[in-house]
Amino acid sequence: MKAWRNGEHGEIGKDGVYLSDLLGRALLAGATGDIHLAIGEEEARVFVSKGVPVHASGTAVLRDFIGQILIERGLADTAVIEAAYTAQETESAAAPDRRRPIGAMLAVNADISPEAIRSAVEAQVVRRVCHLVSIDSARWATTSGENSEIRAIAAPVDAYALLAEAVRTHASDKELSDLSDALLGHSVKLTAAPPATMNALKLTDEEKALLALIDRPRKVHQLESVSSRKRTRTVLKTLSILGILELLPADRGMPIKDAVKIPRLLNNADLAASSPVPDSTSQTRSSSQVSGASSPVSGASSQVSGASSQAGSSSQAGSAKKQSKSESALADELLKQSALIGKVNYYDLLGLTKKADVGAIRTAYTTLAKKFHPDTFQSDDEEIGSLARGVVSALNDAYTALSDPERRKKYDAQLAAGHGLTEDSAQRSGGAKVKYEMAIVHLRRHEYQKARETLKMAMEIHPDHGLYKGTFAWALFADPSIDRGEAVSRASKLLEEAILLSPKEAGLHYFFGRVLKERGDLDMAERSFKRALQMEPKHKDAAMEMRLMDLRKRPSEDPGAPRGKAARAAKGGGILSRLFKK
């Protein structure tokens, strides 16, 4: 954080400097002076006294007048305000050097209390400063020194609360995007800050919950996954302005407990329960991160089985949004980049030779990280977003290792000895997650062979991971090019093994239920769907299967009616079996 300096100047938006940053500099330095903004043909000044904004004026803020605010608050009407302005003009014409501010005129002529007028003046300062914070293109300059005219009309406001409010409600998309770019390749952590400072910010409950998470290092995309993107960035921007946000290497980021969701969880004790294990070692993902209310694998199943089930096709049609041609092409590039993870070394991942200097490494990393940043993908495709986060995380790992001379030396020695392409097993775990996410995208595209190939790589890294094995089984079962008998047999065996490895994964039980249903074991299939719903009551696909089973039972009131395989033989197979036939 740069310090306040008299006579300094620059451009808003250049080098990541915005009015909010300049206000922060003034506040931390306790400066007295003004910040001048030249906005095209207009201009504005924000005056500060001991770091606190006390007045804002200029042609760029001809708004939020004192009289207007008093009318809004029901303390005056238009006639009273106009009379006060007329009296001010008359007085000023008689004695220009003794012109009283409109607030003083209203206090004398309109019988409005000084407290009400002062409150309106403070509101004017807050509104005008907030408006100016939204500007992302202007020239700025700072001047130190007291202004006697401003001192007479100054209305000091709560500087910390104003800064937090201005960033929360008026920071431009460009300002927040610049912050995001500045945080690429880092995790963030709240540094020690006086309680009085934190209280003065007057944060919302949701912001306080987010704050509680960053008492430990976190990656920005982790925070955004449990809160809204804008909320996360405005909080981080405010902390950065105040110099109480520490930037750490990306690999220091710790995972966040899957159950945490900021809009619903405001208990700091629960937030503190997040695991201290580095993020890249986490082997599972929360349901909401991949497929909304469904589990990771159930989300994939509903999207890839559209050709083989009515439920799947309706789910796919309802959830998938059309991508533009440019974004679709970028998604293809993302898949190609993700395919490199775990197959090539860090240099190749960044498109560099081993002779690349630090500048080339930084440039390559920044270019790729911006290109594949989750923000680049405007659609609501959560699988693509998850894959993008995984790719950026892998790029972070590569950059962190190669930009540090000592770590780069060790890594080069590791490569020379043939001991692996990544630094450690934790990063290999992260690579497995990326392969899994990549497979989900392939499944949604009905690219079953590619999905199995990427899942094999994930399984090689984590052979005891039930989620990867179960999704591989589904990629077999859903592939119409594979003989149905063989697909059902192999998928059954793999899913039994996967459930033993991950018995609490609702999606695996849903998958197994689908396979059992195809096999004709309807009672066992029903039990599997029920287990999925017990573990995840909002599992939409399992709930749909249970409704279908209930409907199937209703027409048959004969207690001796055939069930299971006999029923299927009598009816010539169900809808799914007919759809699966070649």
The pLDDT value given to residue 381:
61
> At 165, is the pLDDT very low, low, confident or very high (cuts 50, 70, 90)?
very high
Cβ contacts of residue 60 below 8 Å, gap of 6+? Answer: 37, 39, 42, 43, 44, 132, 135
Q: Residue 11, SS3?
A: strand
**Domain boundaries of the chain, sorted by first residue:** 9-159, 172-276, 287-317+325-554+571-580
> At 132, is the pLDDT very low, low, confident or very high (cuts 50, 70, 90)?
very high
> At 564, is the pLDDT very low, low, confident or very high (cuts 50, 70, 90)?
low
CA-CA distances (angstroms) from residue 310 to 99, 303, 313, 314, 448?
A: 78, 11, 5, 6, 19
Q: Is 90 exceeded by the pLDDT of residue 285?
A: no
Of residues 61, 10, 8, 15, the one with CA closest to residue 31: 8
Q: Is 80 exceeded by the pLDDT of residue 154?
A: yes
**Over 526-543, what HEC string results?**
HHHHHHHHHHCCCCHHHH
DSSP state of 226: H
Q: Is 50 exceeded by the pLDDT of residue 577?
A: no
User: pLDDT tens digits for 308-317?
Assistant: 333 333 333 3
Q: Residue 33, SS3?
A: strand
For 399-426, b/e burial (b = at least 16 CB within 10 A) is: bbbbeeeeebeebbebeeeeeebbbeeb
In CATH, the architecture of 287-317+325-554+571-580 is: Alpha Horseshoe (1.25)
Number of H helices, E strands in the chain: 30, 8
The pLDDT value given to residue 278:
30
The pLDDT value given to residue 257:
67
> At 327, is the pLDDT very low, low, confident or very high (cuts 50, 70, 90)?
low
Query: Mean pLDDT in the chain?
Result: 78
User: pLDDT tens digits for 78-116?
Assistant: 888 888 888 888 887 887 777 778 777 887 777 788 888
Mean pLDDT, rounded, for 258-267:
43
Mean pLDDT, rounded, for 392-421:
81
Q: What are phi and psi of 46, to 5 degrees?
A: -110, 120
Of residues 463, 475, 282, the one with CA closest to residue 389: 282
Q: Is 50 exceeded by the pLDDT of residue 42?
A: yes
CA-CA distances (angstroms) from residue 100 to 105, 256, 273?
A: 7, 57, 59
> At 262, is the pLDDT very low, low, confident or very high (cuts 50, 70, 90)?
low
Q: Which residues pair with 130 in a beta bridge?
A: none
Q: Is 80 exceeded by the pLDDT of residue 296?
A: no
The pLDDT value given to residue 264:
38
> At 421, is the pLDDT very low, low, confident or very high (cuts 50, 70, 90)?
low
> At 43, is the pLDDT very low, low, confident or very high (cuts 50, 70, 90)?
very high
Q: Between 386 and 227, where is the model more confident?
A: 227
Q: Between 515 and 291, where is the model more confident?
A: 515
> At 376, is the pLDDT very low, low, confident or very high (cuts 50, 70, 90)?
confident
pLDDT-above-70 percentage for the chain: 79
The pLDDT value given to residue 182:
86
The type of residue at 43 is E
pLDDT-above-90 percentage for the chain: 25
Strand pairing category for 245-249 and 186-190: antiparallel
CA-CA distances (angstroms) from residue 212 to 199, 254, 281, 317?
A: 14, 13, 22, 39
Q: What are phi and psi of 45, to 5 degrees?
A: -135, 135
The pLDDT value given to residue 28:
92
Of residues 310, 257, 260, 253, the one with CA closest to residue 278: 253
User: pLDDT tens digits for 457-501?
Assistant: 888 777 778 888 999 999 999 998 998 889 899 999 999 989 988
Alpha-carbon distance of 291 to 298, in angstroms, equals: 8
Report the predicted TM-score, pTM, of the whole model to 2 decimal places. 0.52
> At 434, is the pLDDT very low, low, confident or very high (cuts 50, 70, 90)?
confident
The pLDDT value given to residue 265:
37
Q: Residue 357, SS3?
A: coil
CA-CA distances (angstroms) from residue 50 to 34, 58, 154?
A: 11, 21, 12
Question: 85: buried, middle or exposed (CB in 10 Å: 19+, 13-18, 0-12)?
Answer: middle
User: pLDDT tens digits for 175-208?
Assistant: 998 898 888 878 899 987 778 888 889 988 888 8
Alpha-carbon distance of 181 to 175, in angstroms, equals: 10
Q: Between 259 and 263, where is the model more confident?
A: 263
Question: 537: buried, middle or exposed (CB in 10 Å: 19+, 13-18, 0-12)?
Answer: exposed
Of residues 278, 252, 123, 237, the one with CA closest to residue 186: 252
Number of CB atoms found within 10 A of residue 174's CB: 13
Q: Between 559 and 222, where is the model more confident?
A: 222
Alpha-carbon distance of 388 to 403, in angstroms, equals: 22
